Copies of this chain bind each other. A is one copy, B any other.
Amino acid sequence: MQPGQSVQLPEGAKARRVYLSLRDQISDGRLPDGENLPGEQRLAASFGVSRVTVRRALDALSDAGLIEKRAGSGTKVRAQNMAGKAAAMDFNTLMPQLVEMGHSTTARLLSFSYSQAPDFVAQAMGLAAGEKVQIATRVRITDDIPFSHLTTYVPAEIAQSYSEDDLATTPLFKLLERSGVQIEEAHQSVSATLAGPDVAEALDVAVGSALLSLKRVVRDVDGNGVEYLSGLYRPDMFRLEMPLSRVGQGSARHWEPAIGQMDEASG
């Protein structure tokens, strides 16, 4: 029961475009609370579509609870802060940290198998082509709302030291270090992508929604790749927070991440 998927979503292009655009503007804060929305005619003109199309987009927004339409008065935004922004990435543990109390996170294992490492994984981890890896896909859920879709690749030898059940309950980091792996460095790359049919269903969002994409390669002290993570996060449920401080003097003045200072109330 989240925006997007739940009700009948206007599958067609234009209405969908209007819907998604307005939805993002609302959750962004660009459209604040109150009676802000322009009239349907005005919106139609602004988007270059007919009023019927705008209407369908607004109906979907209304069904999603993001706006409130009153008969002759107008349409006002019900920002409700998306009831989310519940999680943020913590630099100390590289794990999502729930900033609100009472929110627990559970994981659901979607698939689990051993097979040859895809080329891009093998290349990123520095494995031999065709080396066997464990491939696991799981979804993390908080308050019945899924917020991340994670696929991990771990060399088969290392992965044998923990079980399938371990994966569903324990963070992969802990499992690896428990197995005696000496984790030394990691490299993360953050980007954005669109939700495909499969991921959209798992994350309970509309196909074509924007997702935060994170790829992480973890290496041990010998420089061998021990984990490749490909994660997709719902932007309304997850953000990457980066506190930074300006240090140094003169020409050496530069930015440094201010770690260990995660603002608890930053959500």
Contacts and interface: CB of A to CB of B under 8 A. Distances in A.
Contact of A259 (B13, B233, B257): B257
Copies of this protein chain in the complex: 2
Most chain B CB neighbours (cut-off 10 Å) among A47, A190, A259: A190
Interface in A49-64: none
Contact of A120 (B28, B196, B242, B260): B28
Interface residues of A, number: 64
Most chain B CB neighbours (cut-off 10 Å) among A21, A256, A263, A266: A21
B208 A193 contact: no
A176 to B, nearest CB: 11
A139 to B, nearest CB: 17
Contacts of A94: 244, 255
Contacts of A245: 184-186
A69 interface: no
A86 interface: no
A259 B252 CA distance: 13
Given A185-B258, A255-B93, A212 B194 contact: no
- What are the nearest 6 A-B pairs in CB distance? A29-B120, A192-B192, A190-B240, A188-B242, A191-B235, A192-B210
